[in-house]
């Protein structure tokens, strides 16, 4: 087989490189900058040019990173490697690996519904497709994102009229920027952000992504009135002292997990908005079909239901263990942001910038 799973991650022996390794290696091909896919310590990284800024923020100034355009082919020890849009977050890529006529595609995390914060997903024909299954159950079906953003705006407007702030939780890398971009032109605001979000907002803006004006909450003047404001912050800030500055507030979380009844109640949230940067059940099955793959490896998420469905339809499918996480229901982000706004003075991302989900 062209790829195999080892103790360090998914390995291509012919090319002597890994795709999203979970331990340090000599050569790492990275699908995107979330922490479960882009880990520190490898000697060299290959990633997409679109995601270069967020990847460098994630990996630190000392990381040796080479970037390529989508569709550009690189030869690694005789193996042809190219990156293709995954539509997950800015710069997210599928990794196409070709050797002696055999083609594999490792999708990383992906979604097929386009949004303005990244290049849309493109199906890539292959013999073997490696897919996530974060939401690999028939119950997970997303509403059109325009409907969700209209719901968010109506929630904010009701809170403004009631004299409350609106705190919207979303992962600092990817989800927060998608939320902001989705509210561009909706006359929502003022908008304040956690430092981890604001640092990555700048990377998105520098990459040409349009976002509405935002203010880093840590830099706001003392005595700022937050009633009627929208605050975008990582989910782990819920219940923290950081939130107290905003006074009376309604809280909401934007995530695919909000599709499940009871998820909002378990988190003690006022609202839950169903918005995910991963494929839902029908999109996952459609993506697999579009590849034309004869063999499918199913990684993180609800693997067994997806494998069973694919096998019933004549495909060679198997569940493959990995340390990729997809969209966790909780993530290890520090509740109180550092004064530096998410990146420490040495260039390494501080704990507040650590975002595993999307």
* Residue 351 confidence (pLDDT): 29
Strand partners, 104: 97, 128
| Residue 198 CB contacts under 8 Å (≥ 6 apart), including other chains | 214, 216, 341, 342
* Residue 326 confidence (pLDDT): 83
The helix or strand, by DSSP H or E, that contains position 164, with its residue range, turns out to be none
Q: Render pLDDT for 289-347 as a digit per residue (tens, 0 to 9).
A: 999 999 999 999 999 999 999 999 999 999 999 999 988 654 433 333 333 333 322 22
Question: What is the Cα–Cα distance from 344 to 65, expressed in whole angstroms?
Answer: 20
Select from 3.40.50.1010, 3.30.1360.70, 3.40.50.10890, 3.40.50.410 the CATH code of 145-273: 3.40.50.10890
Of 56, 24, 87, 4, whose CA–CA distance to 277 is shortest? 87
Do 343 and 350 form a contact (C-beta atoms < 8 A)? Answer: yes
Mean pLDDT for 63-91 is 98
What is the pLDDT of the chain when averaged over all its residues?
91
Do 68 and 49 form a contact (C-beta atoms < 8 A)? Answer: yes
In the chain, where the domains are located? 4-139+277-327, 145-273
* Residue 58 confidence (pLDDT): 94
Is the per-residue pLDDT at 236 higher than 80? yes
Is the per-residue pLDDT at 355 higher than 90? no
* Residue 301 confidence (pLDDT): 94
Question: What is the Cα–Cα distance from 137 to 129, expressed in whole angstroms?
Answer: 19
* Residue 353 confidence (pLDDT): 32
* Residue 263 confidence (pLDDT): 83
Is the per-residue pLDDT at 95 higher than 60? yes
* Residue 327 confidence (pLDDT): 80
- Collapsing DSSP to helix, strand or coil, 284 comes out as helix
Which tokens go with 52?
């270069």
- For the chain, where are the E strands, in sequence order? 4-6, 9-12, 17-19, 27-29, 44-48, 65-68, 73-76, 79-85, 93-99, 102-106, 128-133, 165-169, 191-193, 215-216, 230-233, 249-254, 271-273, 295-301, 316-319
Mean pLDDT for 104-130 is 98
Question: What is the Cα–Cα distance from 194 to 164, expressed in whole angstroms?
Answer: 18
Is the per-residue pLDDT at 186 higher than 70? yes
Which CATH superfamily includes the segment(s) 4-139+277-327? Ribonuclease Z/Hydroxyacylglutathione hydrolase-like (3.60.15.10)
Do 88 and 358 form a contact (C-beta atoms < 8 A)? Answer: yes
**Alpha helix ranges (H) inside 1-135:** 52-59
251 φ, ψ (degrees, to nearest 5): -115, 145
The helix or strand, by DSSP H or E, that contains position 180, with its residue range, turns out to be helix 175-182
Is the per-residue pLDDT at 244 higher than 50? yes
Question: What is the Cα–Cα distance from 329 to 175, expressed in whole angstroms?
Answer: 13
Mean pLDDT for 53-72 is 96
Of 319, 346, 300, whose CA–CA distance to 34 is shortest? 300
* Residue 329 confidence (pLDDT): 56
Mean pLDDT for 230-254 is 94
How many residues comprise the chain?
358
């Amino acid at each position: 087989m062209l790829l195999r799973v080892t103790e360090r991650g998914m390995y291509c022996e012919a090319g002597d490189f890994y795709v999203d390794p979970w331990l340090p290696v000599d050569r790492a091909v990275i699908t995107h900058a979330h922490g479960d896919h882009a880990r520190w310590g490898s000697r060299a990284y290959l990633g997409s040019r679109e995601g270069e800024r967020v990847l460098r923020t994630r990996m630190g100034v000392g990381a040796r990173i080479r970037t390529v355009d989508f569709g550009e082919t690189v030869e690694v020890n005789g193996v042809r490697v190219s990156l293709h849009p995954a539509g997950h977050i800015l710069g997210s890529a599928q990794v196409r690996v070709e050797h002696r006529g055999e083609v594999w595609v490792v999708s990383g995390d992906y979604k097929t519904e386009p949004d303005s914060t990244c290049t849309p997903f493109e199906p890539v024909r292959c013999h073997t497709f490696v897919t996530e299954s974060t939401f690999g159950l028939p119950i997970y079906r997303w509403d059109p994102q325009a409907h969700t953003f209209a719901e968010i705006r109506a929630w904010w407007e009701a809170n403004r009229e009631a004299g409350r702030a609106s705190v919207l939780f979303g992962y600092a890398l990817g989800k927060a920027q998608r939320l902001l971009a989705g509210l561009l032109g909706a006359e929502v605001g003022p908008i304040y952000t956690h430092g981890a979000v604001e640092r990555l907002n700048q990377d998105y803006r520098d990459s040409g992504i349009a976002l509405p004006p935002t203010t880093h909450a840590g830099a706001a003047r003392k005595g700022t009135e937050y009633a009627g404001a929208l605050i975008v912050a990582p989910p782990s800030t819920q219940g923290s002292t950081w939130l107290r500055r905003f006074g009376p507030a309604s809280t909401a979380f934007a995530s695919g997990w909000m599709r499940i009844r009871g998820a909002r109640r378990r988190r003690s949230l006022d609202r839950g908005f169903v918005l995910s940067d991963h494929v839902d059940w029908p999109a996952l099955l459609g993506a697999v079909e579009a590849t034309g793959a004869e063999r499918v490896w199913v990684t993180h998420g609800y693997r067994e239901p997806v494998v069973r469905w694919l096998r019933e339809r004549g495909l060679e499918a198997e569940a493959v263990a990995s340390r990729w996480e997809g969209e966790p229901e909780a993530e290890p982000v520090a509740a109180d942001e550092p004064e530096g706004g998410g990146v420490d003075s040495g260039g390494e991302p501080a704990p507040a910038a650590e975002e595993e989900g999307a």
